Chain A
Amino acid sequence: MGFRFTMTPIDTTAGRAALLDGSAGGYVSFEGWVRDHNEGLAVKRLKYEAFDALAVKEGERIIVEALARFPVKHALCLHRVGELGIGEMAVWVGVSSTHRAESFEACRYIIDAVKHRVPIWKKEHYVNGDSGWVNCERCAAPGADTVHHDKAGHRHTLARS
């Protein structure tokens, strides 16, 4: 259970094994992959960077919240940092529970909260030679996604995935 970063490819077999429980009747996982395009630009590769100390703390808070909100057995989120190529797995979330409905709900809750709250940044390198930090450099561009305000006053565009 918990939230962890890895510099190497995410080991989903080990992740799934950590969720096994004789009283669980099902398991749901989500994999986030590096996509070859974003906001109309062809992406070549990208780099994830995290504020480790706070990111792990916030990630673990999200897992604790999910376990409190939904009657699930175990939950784990693994996030990659460093350089990633197209098709590589950037994030993995797994949840096990007695019945399937709560695993789907908790998995969705965790990935949404991780994307929204955990201090991780993504720099995309584009086929055209440009690069940019997602949500930081093009957020005021025409056609950017809905602007969202939360109670901390943090303003950003909602990431697409």
Chain B
Amino acid sequence: MLINLQYFAILREQAGRPNESLETRAATPAALYAELAKRYPFTLAPEQLKVAINGEFADFAHSLRTGDAVVFIPPVAGG
């Protein structure tokens, strides 16, 4: 299925791009991050991240559907 990824902050720098559309067999955000971590030099462990699907926080075990917009969220530092 086709997943639309958007990257922010340290993940954007490590992926070397702000977004991409990716054809994947990953069924969940957890599997998707594991796949991406093989492709890019990501240093953050999945348990340090949150994930958003289609603009809302979601669970790492959520079932992905084709066309989903996925954002992995590194530890935040606002304020």
Contact = CB atoms under 8 A, between A and B. Distances in A.
Contact of A161 (B52, B71, B73, B79): B79
A121 B79 contact: no
Contacts, number: 97
A33 to B, nearest CB: 10
21 contacts: A53-B55, A54-B73, A58-B57, A114-B78, A116-B76, A118-B76, A119-B8, A119-B52, A119-B73, A121-B9, A122-B78, A133-B9, A134-B77, A136-B43, A136-B77, A137-B43, A155-B47, A155-B48, A156-B75, A157-B75, A159-B77
A136 B10 CA distance: 7
A141 interface: no
Residues of B in contact with A, size category: 20 to 34
A155 B75 CA distance: 7
Interface of A: 32, 48-51, 53-55, 57-58, 79, 90-91, 111, 114-123, 133-137, 139, 152-157, 159, 161
